[in-house]
Amino acid sequence: MEKKTIVSAALLILAAATILWMNQPSETRENSQQSSTTIQKKPTTDPSPQSAVPNDVEESCKSAAERFVRVKSEGRSSDIFLDRIEPVKELLSDDLYQSLVPDLSKDELAAMRRESKRIKKEETTETQITSMDSAIDRIADDDFEVYVIYTAQMQHADRNDASRYLVRMRVQWSDGKAKIYKMIEESSLGHGFYEK
């Protein structure tokens, strides 16, 4: 196995373990935290600083990431991507938004919209997300890495297909809002392994 594949598999295992741990009943998680804190506690002269970010911030960041993935991934293959992600533009940093959307003139965009309306429904693939799980890792006080694993059901004519994907992104909490500022990875998961 390549080193890249091993590292990717390790990250997937870490993400899955985090999701499983976060879905435990709170009593089990607290007991787990207490026992691991005792084992992993290192002597230090300075007490660890308290986070200034409330706990519900993590949920807001995960929710923003999940909403973005759902809006970005669901729809028809004939959809104009710019139109598809417009409703979640406020969740993206300006730099990330500019990197995701093509630089089109109004005439070019109008021509694309006209062309997409001409495509017959039978010729398109429709994608629907059927399941989604997420986990979050705090990088800094206001900076998070969010992992989203989802299953996409794709239908084209009479053919149905389902695939699982992992999306990793960085989210920053700023001015009381979650902003996705960097896409790290979007990989297909096949048989429990990464397929890049």
Order the strands of the 193-195 sheet from edge to edge.
75-76, 125-140, 143-156, 159-174, 177-190, 193-195
The predicted-structure confidence for 21-67, as pLDDT tens digits, reads as follows 555 554 444 444 444 333 333 333 333 344 455 568 999 999 999 99
The predicted-structure confidence for 130-177, as pLDDT tens digits, reads as follows 999 999 999 999 999 999 999 999 998 788 899 999 999 999 999 999
Q: Which domains does the chain have, with CATH numbers?
A: 53-195 (3.10.450.540)
The one-letter amino acid code at 190 reads G
